[in-house]
Structure formats: structure tokens, C-alpha cells
Amino acid sequence: MLPPVGPSGGPREPMHIGTVDSFDSREPLSTVSTLGTNAGSEARVESIERLGFLPVAVDTITASIALPFDLFVRTDPRVAPVLFRERQLALEAGDFDRFGDQGISTLYIRVADHVAYRSFLLDTVLRDEGVSVGKRFRVLQVANRAVFQMAFSSRNADQLVGFAGEYGEELARLVSDESVAACELLDLMAHDYYTYTHVTNVSVLVLLIAGRMGMGASDEIVALARGAVLHDIGKRHIAPVLLNQERPLTRRQREAIQEHAKLGFLELCHRRDVSWDQLMMVYQHHERCDGQGYPVGLVADEIHPWARMCAVADVYDAMSSSRPYRPAIPLKEVWEVLEGDRGSQFDREVVKALRAVVSS
């Protein structure tokens, strides 16, 4: 058992807060859900959050750098996390060895410290060009997960729009980095279909498609990324139980889910910090070129070009990710759907661009 260590190095009393839950302390952060997605994981996250903590992966912490947050460890899932290292202190190489020995891959921070954790990650890893693209991308995902989770669960759209601004810019910067190969990013994508993962994947895919289609202006690329981060904002208003229902949806339930495009539009349409192009990604990303989409049933060029890119990225990620009611669909079948319907459901040029990106 790792002893909790205070600033002076002496042991501290474990902090038992709230009730015991069944959260597995070894669960890596990458498998922890964001709110409103997988019901089982959501319950676990809510449970640990009720205690006032968020899980963070050990490998996102850099050794020998003072931490701007308190760090907690949980070796027994029946008790709450206990303080391991106070803020302003650093983890040392020996600490990582001990984590490894004890099979601990997840540490905890206070929920209130999630912004400090994000800043720490961005400052220590993301800005460091000596760090591999893989690690930078993973850190970018990890650093933003908790902030997204908070923003997505907030009733106020301000947080999510603000988050989209920053996250979109970071994603755009990473994807536009000429040293980054598209296939590297594609390999690093998770496919668990948690809302945050989906939003990240769709944003990266949209950026890669846009790059392939010749969209070059950096302002436009950043705006596109921000729109992609926001594209499913309307799902905040749909009951998670409905989004994750395993049995077939009734007509009324399907209509309720389809409302998310309109609800997202309505939530953002009067904001000055969201452009019309971005709004169309929110409103039209379920439109189909053959007119069979929703909410309006627009066809081909009537659909905003950014929404057409978003539609292809959205379907590609949705099909290739596991869902509560089905496993991931093999890529071969995903392409059969996308290319089989090329020109009818999906924009031919966009599908071609995605194919080129994936094949590169």
C-alpha cells in the first residue's frame, strides 16, 4: 500500500469521503465515459465524481515537475482516494516504479482541479515538440476529457462553446502539423463511442477531409474544427437512456433523438461567437444528399459543405465504433455503406477525400 505523502514527506491520514463504490482504480482514463453515453461507465464516473474526484492516467503525469493540483491514489476500490502528493510537489521516478509494481494506472484529482490539470498537461506535453505525435494526441484527448465532461453536463452552453473554441484550435494545430501523418492520428483514435471520443474523432476526421479537399486557410480550419466539436451539442437535451437504448427504438423515440440537431441549432443560433457555417454543422449533419436525412430533408448542394463533411465523418466514426446495442462494424462494411451510397446519401467528393486520407 502506498502511503499518502504530505509536503514534508510524512504520512497523512487517508481521506474517506462519502460512500464506497465499485469503481476500478485500474481502469485507464481512456475507457472512462463522458456523461450521457455508456450507462454503466457513466454510473461509475458519477460515483467517483460524487466523491469529488476525477480519474487521470498515470502516464499523463510528467516526473519532476511541480504539480498545480493535489494528487490522490486509490488502491482499494472500497474506499475513497487518499492524498498521495500535495500541490506544488512533483512525482519522482521512484513513484512511477511503485505504481507499476502495484498495477496502478489511474490516479485521481479533485473535480475542482480539472482546469489546472488540463493546463498542466498542455504546458508540459502538448507544447513540447520533442514529444511524439502519438503522446501529444493522447494527452490532448486526456487533458480535455474532464473539461468536456463538465461543459457537456452543464446547462449553460457558454462552457461548451468556450471549450470548443480552445479544443478546436488545439486539434486544428495538431492535424495541420506537417510532421503528423493522417494514419498516425487514425491509429490513435479510440472507438468506444463515448460522446467525447466521438466528438474528438469527428473533429479530426473533418479536419483531415478538409485538408485533403484543399481547405487551407488556418482561420477557416480552426472555425471548422470548432464547429465539429459542437456538432452534437443538442444531444445534451436527449435522455442518455434513450441514446443508449439496446432494444429497437419506437418511432416516437427515434423522432426524439432526431430532435438533437434542431435543439443544438436553437441553443446556439443567437450567439455571436458561433458562425453560421458552424451552426449548419450542428443543424445539418444528419441531412443526406438524397433528401432522406433530417431535420429538413435537404438535397446535395442545399446542404452546407461543412455539414456534408461532418455527415461523412459522423457516419464513419459511428459505424466503426462499438455502441451499446452492437459491436463496431468492420471497416470493409463501413466502406461498402459509404461508397455504395456514394453520390446518393453522401457527398461523393467528401467520401473520396476520406478514402484518400484513410488509405494514405
Taking contact as CB under 8 A, which single stretch among the options 122-130, 138-146, 258-266, 339-347 is the one that binds another protein? 258-266
The distance of closest approach from Cβ of residue 31 to another protein in the complex, given in angstroms and rounded to an integer, is 37
Cβ proximity to another protein, 33 vs 284, nearer residue: 284
In the complex, the smallest distance separating the C-beta of residue 222 from another protein, rounded to whole angstroms, is: 19
Interaction of residue 128 with another protein, rule CB under 8 A: no
Is residue 224 close enough to count as binding another protein by CB under 8 A? Answer: no
Closest distance of CB 225 from another protein, Å: 20
Q: Is 254 in the site for another protein (CB under 8 A)?
A: no
Amino acid at 86: E
Taking the C-alpha atoms of residue 12 and residue 341, their distance in angstroms, rounded to an integer, is: 62
Among 7, 40, 134, 297, binds another protein (CB under 8 A): 297
Q: How far apart are CA 331 and CA 240, in angstroms?
A: 27
Is 331 a binding residue for another protein by CB under 8 A? The answer is no
The least distance separating another protein from the CB of residue 276, rounded to whole angstroms, comes to 4
From 62-70, 88-96, 110-118, 295-303, span contacting another protein (CB under 8 A): 295-303
Handedness of CA 33, 288, 173, 129 (dihedral sign): positive
Q: Is 99 in the site for another protein (CB under 8 A)?
A: no
Q: Binding to another protein by residue 306, rule CB under 8 A? A: no
Find the binder of another protein among 128, 187, 302, 333 (CB under 8 A).
302
Q: Is 295 one of the binding residues for another protein (CB under 8 A)?
A: yes
Question: Helix, strand, coil shares of the chain as percentages rounded to 5?
Answer: 55, 5, 40
Q: How far apart are the first and last CA of the chain?
A: 48
**CA separation for the pair 293, 242 (Å, rounded):** 20
Name the segment binding another protein (CB under 8 A); options: 87-95, 202-210, 260-268, 339-347.
260-268
Instruction: Name the residue nearer to another protein (CB basis): 61 or 230.
Output: 230
Whether the CB-CB separation of 309 and 210 falls below 8 Å is answered with: yes
Q: Is 256 in the site for another protein (CB under 8 A)?
A: no
Length reported for the chain: 360
Q: How far is the CB of 231 from another protein (least distance, A)?
A: 16
Assigned C-alpha cell, 355: 478514402
Among residues 193, 194, 265, 306, the one that binds another protein under rule CB under 8 A: 265
The partner residues of 83 in beta bridges, in order of sequence, read 72
Residue with cell 505523502: 5
- Nine-digit cell string for 312: 461523412
Residue type, 126: L
Cβ atoms of 226 and 164 closer than 8 Å: yes
Min. distance of Cβ 311 from another protein in angstroms?
16
**Candidate list 270, 327, 332, 359; residue touching another protein; CB under 8 A:** 270
Could you tell me which of 177, 175, 181 has the C-alpha nearest to residue 205? 175
Q: Is 249 in the site for another protein (CB under 8 A)?
A: no
Output the DSSP codes for 182-212.
HHHHHHH---S--HHHHHHHHHHHHHHHHHH
Does an H or E element contain 85, and which?
strand 82-85
Q: Which of 180, 186, 296, 318 binds another protein (CB under 8 A)?
A: 296
How far is it, in rounded angstroms, from Cα 227 to Cα 247?
31
d(CA 335, CA 106): 36
| Binding residue (CB under 8 A) for another protein from 6, 68, 77, 291 | 291
300 binds another protein (CB under 8 A): no
Nearer CB in complex with another protein: 276/325: 276
Neighbouring residues of 245: CB distance < 8 A, sequence distance ≥ 6: 253, 324, 325
269 sits near another protein (criterion: CB under 8 A): yes
Return the range that interacts with another protein (CB under 8 A); candidates 45-53, 141-149, 268-276, 343-351: 268-276
Residues in the site for another protein, rule: CB under 8 A? 262, 265-266, 269-270, 275-276, 283, 291, 295-299, 302
